[in-house]
Structure 1
Amino acid sequence: MNFILKRWLRMIVSIGMICMLTACGANPDQFLDNGAEDAYELSVTEQTSKEQASADSVNEAEPVSESLYVYVCGAVATPGVYEVSVDSRIYEAVEQAGGMLDTAKTEAVNLAEPLTDGQMIRIPFQGEETVTQEDAATQNSGIRSDGKVNINTASAEELMTLKGIGQTRAEQIIAYREKHGAFASIEGIMEVDGIKQGTFDKLKDNITVQ
């Protein structure tokens, strides 16, 4: 009942407005068309304003840095911090540092390597011991190039490659290492619960502490 009444009221109000517009000499259709046009123009204006605000926000954002800062030292003419472009290679940073000295160990550095921000580039001198990438990988591993397991750095999986060392014993070795520090000698592994002389005798030829 209320729904029907509301519909009748809307119809009466609409008819009344049309009559008033007609009496005033206005064209109701023109009025409605103008209203729709104004609403459309308002919508377009609001959308344009939002797009402009978004563009301004992007323009105000911090510009992406196109430079890197690297430290070049060692056997170069002028060691120091240098600014280079983001796509630079080591050789370009070395050139900015005046190039390598005659005493530089040139083969020890990969001059084609890409640079990263804050990187230190040290050019070694001739006769200076250097660590190759292969040697570095071996040092970071718990197993040396000769096959011996470094009980100070080996992971549980690497320790488990030893005869008589299962997962539980490997975890005990690591726990002991974390609590007491590095083993001073291979004999120190016998301080770990469950590893006695007999087990050590089986391990000693295959383990190291350095």
Structure 2
Amino acid sequence: MRTDARDRLDALMGKLRPPQTPPSARLRAGPDRSNVRILVLIGVLAAVVAAGYLWLARPRPQPSAGPLPSATLAHVRPAASANPASGPPVVVHVLGKVKRPGVITLPSGSRVAEAIKAAGGVRPGAKTGTLNLARKLVDGEQIPVGVRGPSPIAGAPPPSPDGSAAPGTPLDLNAATAEQLDDLPGVGPVLAQRIVDYRTQHGGFRSIEQLQEVSGIGARRFADLKPMVRV
């Protein structure tokens, strides 16, 4: 009796239970999780590649073909020459308390200070005194450094612009060139050069009598030259 009741109860419960799905059917119904991850990763990579391609293929603005800035079209003028054309060189005689007294050739427009520097500079302990070092040089002039310059003869006309003495004026032994000395009576080119060499070696003539110390000038020739020269 109990067995029959139990059988009927089991049969009733069997009707109420949902049908069981076999394992193979469950595997076919849902994909594996690893396959889903691979599909998602492929989709992300495809999206990145598409975005990069669109970024590279974007239109870019072209440079304008308009006129150049005015600054580049402006005419550039050549700078003016800082050194204008210089004139002929000047020849001066530097004497006195310098290391290398003598006749010096300098470019046109040079100053007294440059002449002293070309003569080796002032000797140790010597001074230039009231000498204007900034004055421009004049061709044929004499620059006494630390000594008293030759005094002009009273009533004598000033020298001509070319440095030669006026007619009838004694010739300055410290400023005359070899060509001017050659014009003196009894003085040829060789003796004129000896006079120039002597004043270069001794820093100029301090008296007319020193002319007798030049080789080739004896008492008789000195007597002829004395009224024609000065210092």
TM-score tier after normalising by the smaller chain length: 0.3 to 0.5
**Going by fraction, where is helix more abundant, 1 or 2?**
1
TM-score where L is the length of structure 2: 0.33
Q: Which has the larger radius of gyration?
A: 2
